Copies of this chain bind each other. A is one copy, B any other.
Amino acid sequence: MKKRSDPVPAKQRLDQMLSKLKEHDFRITPQRLAVLKVLAASDGHPSVERIYDTVKAQFPTTSVATIYKTVALLKQENEVIEISFPDGSNRYDGNKPYPHPHLICTRCKKIVDPDLSSLEDLAKEVTKETGFQITTHRVDFFGLCRECQ
């Protein structure tokens, strides 16, 4: 059975991202394409460093600044979300660029997307109780994955 938390096919996401950039008259450079490919899959929710390493394997002269600039552009276009941590290690998700819960293993740093049907109820409960107009959320659970226990 297909779950809501399952990843979207990377090719499909890549095409969506490319369309968005073209539509807004941004240029498709080889470096950008390489960054997009990593983020379209977003396997394990990559860090800037991991994107950089991957892109550098193909284009050795690439600078980190370019990765940061491209990621910033995609954030601005709502094509990636940023998951930030207290220790200053940011991770990204371009496969599902909308708020969704994460499950983070504190030992192996793996990040998994769980299915959480009751999350909508939570948001409703908050709105009802506080009168806030909720626009987005961040829901992360930390713990040990099955393998690390």
Contacts and interface: CB of A to CB of B under 8 A. Distances in A.
Interface string A46-75: 000000000000000000000000000000
Nearest to A75: B86
Which of the four size classes fits the interface of chain A? 35 or more
Contacts of A114: 126, 129-130
Interface stretch (A11-19, A29-37, A141-149): A141-149
Contact of A116 (B85, B125, B135, B146): B125
A134 interface: yes
**Is chain A's interface secondary structure helix, strand, loop, or mixed overall?**
mixed
B118 A121 contact: yes
| Best-surrounded residue of A123, A138, A141 (most CB of chain B within 10 A) | A141
A27 interface: no
Contacts of A144: 132-133, 135
The 9 A-B pairs with the shortest beta carbon distances in the complex, nearest first, are: A134-B143, A131-B146, A84-B86, A133-B144, A132-B143, A138-B140, A135-B143, A137-B141, A136-B142
